[in-house]
Each structure stands twice: as C-alpha cells, then as structure tokens.
C-alpha cells in the first residue's frame, strides 16, 4: 500500500505547485518550466504549443497566477484576444507528475513586459523584434537578415521592446495535480477556486 505521506495533500495549491516545481528544477534534464499552452478561437477551435513559465505565485494579480510572454500578433496572441481563457499543462516525466491549470488571461503591464524583455539575452531580444511570429516566411535567410540588420541598427544601444511583444497572466480557477501510480492506479486531486478560497477533492483516475 502507498504511504500516507506520499498522497497529494489538501491545502494551498500554490504552495504545492512551488514544492513540485522546486523538485522539477532539480530533476528535469531540460526546461523544467516548459508548459503546454492551449488556447482557442472565439468559436472554440483549439490549438496548443509549448511555452515557458516566467513567473508564478499567489502574490501575482488579484489572487495569484502564472505568467508567460509572447508576440500578441502570433496565432496564440490573436486567439487570446478573441477568447481570453486558456489551459496550461506541466508534464514532469522524471517525477511522473502532471499539473493542469485553467483560467482567464490578462495582459501584464508595459513596465513588466519591458523588464522581462530586457532581462533576456540580447540575441533573444533581437530574434523577437525581428519576427512576425506565425506568419509565412519565404526563406530562413530573410529572418536571419532581419536579425542582423537590427543588431547593426542598435549596436551599443538598448533594443526597444516591440509594442506587440507582451506577457499574459493566467489567473487559475482550477488546478489539478496528478501522480503516476503503479498499475495505472493514478492519483488526482482537483483544486477549485471559490471566491478567495480553494476547495479540493480527489478524482477517479
């Protein structure tokens, strides 16, 4: 039988996420902050891709959240504008754990977007500024030439953040924690926001 202390606890889902994320940073070989982001069009056609978590905690926004950055003119950016709700999925294979998060999205402030943009490696800033993300590209050389042109233009200067490059905060309404168990007798605990409180319950696997 499984030890009781190994069960997914009730309580604060943000504290539990912090504990699992700390373990993932030590055990995952690459990008422990990678998460699948699912968005949908206004009429419900879904799409999903991997992005990187760049901030999280109970102190973000009005009641906690998870932050990622992107080009607002990309496919996901356009879908967020049309339907500002999304789902996240973390899958930490080394730990045999998953976390699923759902909720509405809101844009970070320009100051927050500026701060994160300028914290990135310079070549990443250039790459983002040069990219018309998700739009057709005639040849990779076209993109690389645009990066090189911007590098020359801003040599020795700060690279301005493009106004369409921004971040979004997902304010969770549901957070589910999943643990792989032997013989597929998995364990799932769902946290649901009820006003300023969280309630939790187990789910059948």
Question: Catalytic site residues?
Answer: 184
Give the Cα separation of 205 and 191 in Å (integer): 15
- DSSP string covering 40-106: E-TT--EEEEEEE--EEETTSTTT-EEEEEEETTSHHHHHHHHS-EEEEEEEETTTTEEEEEEEEEE
Tell me which residue of 178, 198, 6 sits closest to 93, measured CA to CA: 178
Tell me which residue of 52, 177, 57, 202 sits closest to 116, measured CA to CA: 52
């Amino acid at each position: 039988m499984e030890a009781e202390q190994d069960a997914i606890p009730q309580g604060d889902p943000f504290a539990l996420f912090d504990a699992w994320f700390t373990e993932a940073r030590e055990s995952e070989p690459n990008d422990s902050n990678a998460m699948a982001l699912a968005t949908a069009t206004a009429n419900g056609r879904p799409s999903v891709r991997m992005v990187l978590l760049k901030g999280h905690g109970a102190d973000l926004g009005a009641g906690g959240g998870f932050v990622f950055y992107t080009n607002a003119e990309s496919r996901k950016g356009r879908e967020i504008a049309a339907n500002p709700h999304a789902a996240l999925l973390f899958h930490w294979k080394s730990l045999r754990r998953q976390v699923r998060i759902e909720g509405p999205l809101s844009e970070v402030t320009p100051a927050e977007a500026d701060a994160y943009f300028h914290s990135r490696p310079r070549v990443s800033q250039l790459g983002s500024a040069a990219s018309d993300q998700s739009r057709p590209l005639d040849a990779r050389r076209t993109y690389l030439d645009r990066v090189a042109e911007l590098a020359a233009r801003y040599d020795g200067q700060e690279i301005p953040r493009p106004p369409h490059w921004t971040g979004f905060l997902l304010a969770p309404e549901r957070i589910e924690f999943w643990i792989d168990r032997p013989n597929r007798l998995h364990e799932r605990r769902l946290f649901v926001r009820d006003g300023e409180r969280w309630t939790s319950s187990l789910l059948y696997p």
